[in-house]
Chains A and B, each alone.
Chain A
Amino acid sequence: MALYPSQEWCDAWKNAMNNDPACAETGKNWSFDYPGDFLFEIVPGSGLDKTHYLYADIKGGKCLELKMIDDPRNIQPAFYVVGTYGDFKPVVKGEKDFIEGVVRGIFKLRGDTSKIMRNAKFIRAVSASISSFRSEYLGE
């Protein structure tokens, strides 16, 4: 069981995403003629002591790269998501919905919203894949 967040956890999520037929099917057009990478900023709290950054490069329904990074300044992601560890945890556990969190302003998402709307099924599938494997959490 991987600790969220950690590189081991990133590897597990990448593996889950790439073995999920829903991600493959709904994301087959994702990021072909536009950038589709994500940077997640996980704000401390609820057991997390410092800000963590998680970078995911996703194309055509497949995750090409998923890694923890120390310094996000050299990355210009297509989508930048910010939320607290306390808010991300229920999403990772599958208890709360990521899109609902974005719509309600719990997570801040910067990027081309039209891409999210047009590919909402894919975003749903990706966020569902995050809870398809068991994780451990800080502060619990």
Chain B
Amino acid sequence: MPTIDDFIRPKEWVSDFVTDIGKVLRDWGRDKYLPVRQKIDEDWREHRLVKPLLKEVLVDLGINAAFFPYEVGGTDIPDVCTLVCVLGEEGASIDSGFTVACLCSIWPMLPILLKPHRNMELLNEFGPKYCGDKLYVGCNAMTEPAGGADIENIGRMRGKTIQTTAKLDGDEWVINGHKIWPTNSGETANLYGVVCTTKKGSTDLNDFAFIYVPADAKGVSVGGPYQKAGMAADMNTDVWFDQVRVPKRYRAHGPGEDLKYFREMITYGNLASAAMCLGVMKNVYEIIKKWTTERIVAGKPLKEHSMVAAALSEIAILIEATSAWVHMYARQVDRPDIYGTDPWDEKLALKSRGLAVFASQAVEKVCSTAMDYMGSYGYSREFDLEKHWRDSKMSGLWMGGLGLKHLENARYWYELETL
């Protein structure tokens, strides 16, 4: 009898061990998270439930440490992109909002964490905190009130619209600006990775800066959590940086290099986003399979009616296609020695947008189709489908939304020159 584990996942690339790590997260989620999953929506403001659960995953299960070098207390697991995708998928099958919070904790560290461009000075400083016994959470502060998509649209906007400034004053950066929407903002984050410009209005890519700011630095303040349709485990607030001073060494790499590895971070974001959509779809598969098997209509299970079977087929096709695509791209990122493309290459950032679009549309379709055949039951909280339906909509909106994703994908495949 096929289960979610029968959807394609290339065993040549995803080892049993990595699959098992994913199952550790899945088992933890089914044991610890599912009993409270329906209560998470009410926890959006306080995160009284979410924060201890974050600690269980990031600290107790060793997920934070998995990504850090051995020298700073981590496990140093290779093939990071594949691991991210497996964790994203397994976590999102439980709760995509919670999984975003977990993965976005690591996200801003990628520019200094990934080989071969590790910044060991900063890893020696932040790594032991991430790998310690207490919860330590990161937050990637990119989006600004003037337009999030513009900041991520590096290829065309070239940092021109970034309003958050970083000015060097002796041995310190002085940061001023206002960010909105970052995952793990509010009272959650301990460390921000902040997208800045060293010269407002500049299109010189050397002026793009990625600078780490401890959340308790003087001049950092946050607003209240946004109340959203879903993804309640992912806390989003405004963040202000008012004359915030951090050491000069807190810049990830330096002129040109920051942008290069920011681009790599975008690629990872696209893949993780798609993997999370995949995880949601797999759980929806389980829900709708159970429902259409047990629900008897006109003397036979609902799934035995041809029209329903066709819809169920479409769900399976979308899951299978997304899974194959996710792992194919993850492999490309992890193995530049085979594919000949550096993980920070613009090509990967652009074309992985296509995957992000496909997966976000697939998950919407899958949730909606499943709901069509569950009827009002699917719309009620009891069956968990409506939570996935609300939560997963966000995956098509973040990181520049549908517009930027399509535009960048087309920019790569059609060599657009004006867009």
Contact = CB atoms under 8 A, between A and B. Distances in A.
Name the prevailing secondary structure of the B interface residues. Answer: helix
Contact of A103 (B27, B74, B77): B77
A109 interface: yes
Interface residues of A, number: 16
Nearest to B15: A105
Interface stretch (A35-43, A67-75, A112-120, A130-138): A112-120
A100 B24 contact: no
Interface string A83-126: 00000000000000101101111001100011001101100100
Nearest to A107: B17
Contact of A124 (B15, B18, B27, B75): B75
A129 to B, nearest CB: 14
Contact of A113 (B23, B65, B83): B23
Contacts of A105: 15-17
B65 A103 contact: no
A105 B13 CA distance: 8
Interface centre among A102, A109, A113, A117 (most CB of B within 10 A): A117
Contacts of B15: 102-105
A114 B24 contact: yes
Given A103-B79, A105-B17, A109-B17, A117 B73 contact: no
B413 interface: no
A105 B74 CA distance: 20
Given A103-B79, A104-B15, A118 B62 contact: yes
Contacts of B27: 114
Contact of B65 (A100, A109, A120): A120
Interface residues of B, number: 25
Interface in A16-49: none
A109 B17 CA distance: 7
Interface string B97-137: 00000000000000000000000000000000000000000
Nearest to B65: A120
Given A100-B78, A104-B78, A120-B75, A113 B66 contact: no
Given A103-B17, A113-B23, A121 B73 contact: yes
A108 B63 CA distance: 21
Nearest to B70: A124
Contacts of B16: 105, 108-109
Given A118-B61, A118-B62, A120-B66, A104 B24 contact: no
Contacts of A121: 65, 73, 75
A109 B15 CA distance: 10
Contact of A99 (B20, B28, B76): B76
A97 B69 CA distance: 12
B382 to A, nearest CB: 30
Interface centre among B20, B65, B73 (most CB of A within 10 A): B20
18 contacts: A99-B75, A102-B17, A103-B17, A103-B77, A103-B83, A104-B79, A105-B16, A105-B17, A109-B16, A109-B17, A113-B21, A113-B24, A117-B24, A117-B61, A117-B66, A118-B61, A120-B66, A120-B74
Interface of A: 97, 99-100, 102-105, 108-109, 113-114, 117-118, 120-121, 124
Given A103-B78, A113-B23, A117-B66, 17 more contacts: A97-B76, A100-B77, A102-B15, A103-B17, A103-B18, A104-B79, A109-B17, A113-B17, A117-B21, A117-B24, A117-B61, A120-B66, A120-B74, A121-B75, A124-B70, A124-B75, A124-B76
